[in-house]
Amino acid sequence: MQRSDQDEQGHTMAKEKPQTTAQDPSLALLAATNSPADLKKLPVERLPELAGEIRQAICDQVSQTGGHLAPNLGVVELTIALHYVFDFGHDRLLFDVGHQCYPHKLLTGRGKLLHKLRQRDGMAGFPEPRESDYDLFSVGHAGTSISTAVGMARGDTLTGQGDRRVVSLIGDASIVNGVAMEGLNNAGTLERQFLTVLNDNGMSIARPQGAMAGYFDRVRLSHHYDDFKKRAHEVLKRVPLGSALEELYHRAGEVMKAAINAGHMFEQFGLLCVGPIDGHDLPGLIEMLEEIKDFDRPVLLHCKTIKGKGFDFATGDPTTFHSPKPFVVSGCRVELKSSGRSFTSAFADALTDVMERDEKVCAVTAAMPDGTGLNKILPKFPERGIDTGICESHAMDMCAGMAKSGLKPFFAVYSTFVQRALDQVFQEVALQGLPIRLCLDRAGYVGGDGAVHHGFMDIAIFAPLPGVVMLAASDEPNLQAGLEFMRTYDDACSVIRYPRDNVVDQPLQASATPFELGKANLVRPAKGKKPDMAILAYGVMVYEATQAIDRLVEDGYDIALYDARFAKPVDADLIERLISDGTPVLTIEEHALSGGFGAQVVAACAERQVSADQVHRMAMPDRWVYQDSRANQLAEAGLDANSIAQRVRGLLDQKISPPIKIHVGVGTVKKAAK
């Protein structure tokens, strides 16, 4: 099946234009800055020039391979200032989400990996300890940096490494995530150095959501660094007498004292709050960080930045980017313009259709309107389309409440991010029997985003929940039919999954038959009455299997192909019939073996007391798969058409009776002796 340009072409282009940074004479300063030690040798006056080169290097690269542009452009000065003041070979730097780590990587010796950004053996798009000791945690999900930082602060202190300073860098959209707020609440109890840098660009991934976004807006409008300097005395008067804050205040240095914000909302979390200050003013940042770096209590430094600083999204100056390829800005990312139609787009159109026909249907996203396609829906249905911000747990419970009121919420969320809401699906959804509809985008391998974003365990985590129904969409007609099934399925929670990929141009069946609970769909019958094998493919694996069968047919094999459609309940009648006919069954899924579709098929065999000996399973291997094109990841996992064809041949060409054939049935066991 065809895939988006982004993966395939990005991979090809890397060979055409290697080592951008080193070769471009306009990036000489960056090329000479291969470590924080190099950086520290530069005078402050030259740092803005370095910032400019970092921006150019990132823009050049992202325009060619896609990636996160705006988040990285926004933190260039912050990153330079942090590395200039701290020593992160010794001190601890923790990124939240991590999509803003490119400048950090360029400053820690990884410029040479940039030309293969988000590709195999190239620079990962997120922090990656396998690349460098400067990266402490592989991250990609939001809100975790403060909590891991609290752990490192506690750990370093307990292990006699208390001189290692701890810094976390987090955005305004992430800091209101539940985990981050739990982290802040606990950070406030630390009695040691602990710096949280709030990168407040007021943009979130899409638009900021929730009441606190309004708070940040007010703070941005009402405070300026210059103002602070002028009115240190006035600020001092606002510090409550006798408070812990007052005690901290009097220990602060002059620069810091001038910027202390006694009315900051996070002061209630026990943090000394400073700012907001200008996050692009390098000398100002360095001066502040120098003074703050050894402060012996938790401090939150609020920095105002401009997301995408240096790149005008509105006019999109192409000459800056030397880009031969068309690209689109999608939320905070740049996506190379795809030649195909994505599942995400197909979903958006299908859900729009559902919403037009059924006024009870609502659409919900947790800060991913672009990634889930809901950007097409929210403006069209302002009442029934809701973006909650980055808070999957809240969003799931909100959906539960809406369902309890009689609505039909469809929550569009990445498979990997729904992990944040497992407990809510357990308690507020499944235990209540509420018919929430979960639409899991990015199920399976995700390409360049790598291991932090693969959707590999959604079936495993939801299948143990009584009543939950699980579907997969193999193509656009089946996605439409699946959503229509979910619209009318009111008995319990239903979950559909689909990958970060394009839909096929030519579906096996131009219009899908309606989904029937627990029924598979025969999409490519065998030629004879008794096929050599039946393949039950889950989701898009149908099309990998189709390609495999094309080859197998040439070799004379006769294979029946089913679109399994349901992982819970599986089509037990079909499975029993196939086995009773002596037809070997091969299940294929883009999900972990443990608890996946194939596991449900085997369980169904056990329940029906039919042998599962001729049920074979292909699934994602039990190891991490890193950034690469999705096609390569599928091949690496043994889930591409080639691997499938090879496996089928292997099973059919040799007698696949198990190496140890069991002839000793328990029927030979003596009867009870009594």
Q: Which of 562, 483, 570, 473 is nearest to 524 (CA)?
A: 562
Provide, rounded to whole angstroms, the least separation between the CB of residue 189 and a copy of itself. 6
Tell me the residue type at 215.
Y
Q: Is 307 part of the annotated catalytic residue set?
A: yes
Nearer to a copy of itself, 273 or 512 (CB): 273
Provide, rounded to whole angstroms, the least separation between the CB of residue 78 and a copy of itself. 22
Query: d(Cα 24, Cα 115) in Å, to the nearest integer?
Result: 12
Nearer to a copy of itself, 22 or 212 (CB): 212
Provide, rounded to whole angstroms, the least separation between the CB of residue 384 and a copy of itself. 7
Provide, rounded to whole angstroms, the least separation between the CB of residue 450 and a copy of itself. 10
Active-site residue, selected from the candidate residues 291, 335, 392, 590: 392
| Residues composing the chain | 674
Nearer to a copy of itself, 51 or 386 (CB): 386
Sequence-distant (6+) residues with CB within 8 A of 400 are 424, 428, 429, 432, 434, 436
Q: How many C-beta atoms lie closer than 10 Å to residue 670's C-beta?
A: 5
Provide, rounded to whole angstroms, the least separation between the CB of residue 659 and a copy of itself. 6
Active-site residue, selected from the candidate residues 55, 307, 384, 565: 307
Tokens standing for residue 273: 């709050």
Provide, rounded to whole angstroms, the least separation between the CB of residue 459 and a copy of itself. 9
Nearer to a copy of itself, 55 or 591 (CB): 591
Query: d(Cα 583, Cα 354) in Å, to the nearest integer?
Result: 39
Phi, psi at 56, each rounded to 5°: -65, -45
Nearer to a copy of itself, 233 or 661 (CB): 661
Alpha helix stretches (DSSP H) within 66-144? 70-74, 76-85, 102-107
Active-site residue, selected from the candidate residues 257, 420, 565, 568: 420
Query: d(Cα 543, Cα 477) in Å, to the nearest integer?
Result: 14
Query: d(Cα 23, Cα 36) in Å, to the nearest integer?
Result: 21
Q: What is the DSSP string of 317-338?
A: -GGGTT--S-EEEETTEEEEPP
Provide, rounded to whole angstroms, the least separation between the CB of residue 316 and a copy of itself. 32
Q: Is 304 part of the annotated catalytic residue set?
A: no
Query: d(Cα 32, Cα 111) in Å, to the nearest integer?
Result: 10
Distances in whole angstroms, Cα of residue 267 to Cα of each of 211, 246, 261, 262, 302? 17, 12, 8, 7, 12
Nearer to a copy of itself, 211 or 510 (CB): 211
Nearer to a copy of itself, 614 or 632 (CB): 614
Task: Answer positive or negative: Cα dihedral of 186, 189, 192, 195.
Answer: positive
Q: Is 500 part of the annotated catalytic residue set?
A: no
Sequence-distant (6+) residues with CB within 8 A of 131 are 105, 110, 113, 123, 124
Residues acting as catalytic residues: 307, 392, 420
